[in-house]
Amino acid sequence: MDVGIKIKQRRECLNFSQEQLSQISGVSQASIHYIEAGENSPTAKTLFKLASALGVSITELLGDQPATSKSQISADKSQG
Protein backbone atom coordinates (compact mmCIF):
# COMPACT_ATOMS: atom_id res chain seq x y z
CA MET A 1 0.00 0.00 0.00
CA ASP A 2 1.31 3.45 -0.93
CA VAL A 3 2.54 5.71 1.88
CA GLY A 4 0.32 8.56 0.66
CA ILE A 5 -2.77 6.37 0.91
CA LYS A 6 -1.80 5.31 4.44
CA ILE A 7 -1.28 8.92 5.48
CA LYS A 8 -4.69 9.87 4.09
CA GLN A 9 -6.43 6.89 5.74
CA ARG A 10 -4.88 7.66 9.12
CA ARG A 11 -5.64 11.39 8.78
CA GLU A 12 -9.28 10.63 7.97
CA CYS A 13 -9.47 8.10 10.82
CA LEU A 14 -8.47 10.92 13.16
CA ASN A 15 -10.97 13.27 11.48
CA PHE A 16 -8.18 15.70 10.55
CA SER A 17 -8.38 17.89 7.48
CA GLN A 18 -5.21 18.36 5.47
CA GLU A 19 -5.03 21.86 6.94
CA GLN A 20 -5.24 20.52 10.51
CA LEU A 21 -2.54 17.94 9.83
CA SER A 22 -0.43 20.70 8.33
CA GLN A 23 -0.75 22.81 11.46
CA ILE A 24 0.06 19.89 13.77
CA SER A 25 2.95 18.50 11.73
CA GLY A 26 4.54 21.64 10.34
CA VAL A 27 4.29 20.19 6.81
CA SER A 28 2.60 22.44 4.25
CA GLN A 29 -0.95 21.58 3.23
CA ALA A 30 0.16 21.53 -0.40
CA SER A 31 2.87 18.96 0.39
CA ILE A 32 0.34 16.78 2.22
CA HIS A 33 -2.01 17.00 -0.76
CA TYR A 34 0.70 15.94 -3.24
CA ILE A 35 1.92 13.11 -0.99
CA GLU A 36 -1.60 11.75 -0.48
CA ALA A 37 -2.29 12.00 -4.21
CA GLY A 38 0.86 10.01 -4.95
CA GLU A 39 2.37 12.89 -6.90
CA ASN A 40 5.31 13.37 -4.48
CA SER A 41 7.15 11.10 -2.09
CA PRO A 42 7.87 12.46 1.38
CA THR A 43 11.43 13.03 2.53
CA ALA A 44 12.53 11.20 5.68
CA LYS A 45 12.11 14.43 7.66
CA THR A 46 8.59 14.98 6.33
CA LEU A 47 7.66 11.37 6.94
CA PHE A 48 8.85 11.66 10.55
CA LYS A 49 6.79 14.84 11.09
CA LEU A 50 3.65 13.29 9.59
CA ALA A 51 4.03 10.00 11.47
CA SER A 52 4.48 11.89 14.74
CA ALA A 53 1.43 14.06 14.10
CA LEU A 54 -0.65 11.00 13.17
CA GLY A 55 0.48 8.99 16.20
CA VAL A 56 2.03 6.15 14.20
CA SER A 57 5.55 4.98 13.49
CA ILE A 58 7.34 5.52 10.22
CA THR A 59 7.46 1.73 9.91
CA GLU A 60 3.67 1.59 10.01
CA LEU A 61 3.45 4.13 7.20
CA LEU A 62 6.01 2.29 5.07
CA GLY A 63 4.91 -1.29 5.83
CA ASP A 64 2.32 -3.47 4.13
CA GLN A 65 -0.33 -3.21 6.86
CA PRO A 66 -2.74 -0.28 7.28
CA ALA A 67 -1.48 2.36 9.71
CA THR A 68 -3.01 1.90 13.16
CA SER A 69 -2.60 3.80 16.36
CA LYS A 70 -0.42 2.48 19.15
CA SER A 71 -3.48 2.40 21.41
CA GLN A 72 -5.26 0.10 18.94
CA ILE A 73 -2.27 -2.22 18.93
CA SER A 74 -2.19 -2.31 22.73
CA ALA A 75 -5.93 -2.99 22.89
CA ASP A 76 -5.61 -5.78 20.33
CA LYS A 77 -2.79 -7.41 22.29
CA SER A 78 -4.70 -7.26 25.57
CA GLN A 79 -7.76 -8.89 23.98
CA GLY A 80 -5.84 -11.66 22.25
Per-chain mean pLDDT for the chain: 86
CATH architecture observed for domain 3-79 = Orthogonal Bundle (1.10)
DSSP code for 6 = H
| pTM above threshold 0.85 | no
Per-residue confidence (pLDDT) for residue 78, from 0 to 100 = 42
- In sequence order, which residues have a C-beta less than 8 Å from that of residue 3 and are 6 or more positions away? 35, 41, 42, 47, 61, 62
DSSP state of 15: T
- Listing DSSP states for 49-79 in one string gives HHHHHHT--HHHHHSSSPP--HHHHHHHHHH
**pLDDT tens, position by position, 30-59:** 999 999 999 999 999 999 999 999 999 999
Domains in the chain: boundaries: 3-79
Residue 66: the pLDDT is 62
pLDDT of residue 1: 74
User: Per-residue pLDDT for 79 more than 60?
Assistant: no
How far is the C-alpha of 26 from the C-alpha of 74, rounded, in Å?
28
